[in-house]
Amino acid sequence: MDLLGEKDDLRLIELNQFFAIISPMNFHYKLSLCLVVALAIINPVYSDVTKGKELSESCVACHGQNGISLNPVWPKLAGQNPKYLATQLHEFKKGPEGKRNNAVMYGIAMTLSDSNISDLAEYYASLKPTIGLTKDDQLELGRNIYRGGNMEIKMQACISCHGPNGQGNYAAAIPMLSGQHSQYTYQQLKNFQASKRSNDYNKMMRNIVHRMTDDEMKAVASYIEGLY
């Protein structure tokens, strides 16, 4: 909070200086300059993305250039919901005390400040996602689960929260799934099922997966990889 206050004070001082400089100029010139400055003030995201890109150098080895990881057990981050990404990094940072404990990401997240985390989240969210392929023999079962759930075990369909194209829900910070490596997705479903990952608000994911079979998880993960 302190930091925010300081930033706002600085912006006011900058504004005062700005008006002192432009007061002798003609009206049209003033107007266009004011617009440029107003945009810079209300939209400070640009610099966050630039800082995030710098910070991402330590992530490239696993999450790939442009947020597209090559190894299928490491998640693609490109185009993911920024609020969701930030939440995950904060959770990793809590380490074994947290609800998403992963040794590798713990070591990395513990070095990141709150502002590093939001800059990285904005950067990865700004990148273009890629789509993979669904295996032919997984398509039917995968699609049925994704779109229809499983009535017999009262399992809600994935589509109701993650959307028809797997884009997630921006405002509710429900993650995009579309195009994600199926091995990574499968592993996360297993982790939710075993409650190794329990950072899902209201047990939203744990309630869904707790009676899913291994084959169903593999099929839906493969369906998601080719979904767009």
Using CB under 6 A, list all residues that contact ligand HEC. 58-59, 61-63, 74-75, 77, 80, 85, 87-89, 100, 102, 104-105, 108, 120, 145, 156, 158, 160-162, 174-175, 177, 185, 187-189, 199-200, 204-205, 208, 220
Q: Look-up: residue for tokens 């405002």? A: 171
DSSP, collapsed to helix, strand or coil, labels residue 150 as: strand
Cβ nearer to ligand HEC, comparing 100 with 127:
100
Which residues, other chains included, contact 91 with Cβ-Cβ below 8 Å and sequence gap of 6+?
98, 99, 100, 199
DSSP 8-state code for residue 100: B
Closer residue to ligand HEC (CB): 30 or 94: 94
Q: Which residues contact 129 (CB under 8 A, 6 or more apart)?
A: 76, 78, 79, 80, 176, 178, 179
Q: How far is the CB of 46 from ligand HEC (least distance, A)?
A: 19
Q: Which is nearer to ligand HEC, 28 or 154 (CB)?
A: 154
Choice between 127 and 220, CB closer to ligand HEC: 220
Per-position b or e across 120-151, b if 16+ CB within 10 A of its CB: bbbbbbbbebbebebeeebeebbbbbbeebbe
Ramachandran angles phi, psi of 150, nearest 5°: -140, 100
Q: Which is nearer to ligand HEC, 16 or 213 (CB)?
A: 213
CB of 138 to ligand HEC, least distance (A): 13
Q: Shortest gap between Cβ of 208 and ligand HEC (angstroms)?
A: 5
Distance CA 157, CA 148 (A): 5
CB 104, min distance to ligand HEC, A: 5
Query: Least distance (Å) from ligand HEC to the CB of residue 40?
Result: 26
DSSP-H helix ranges across 23-174: 27-42, 45-55, 60-63, 82-93, 103-109, 114-125, 139-148, 159-162
| Residue 176: CB minimum distance to ligand HEC, A | 8
Tokens of 58: 């330590």
Q: Which is nearer to ligand HEC, 127 or 189 (CB)?
A: 189
Closest alpha carbon to 205 in 172, 174, 165: 174
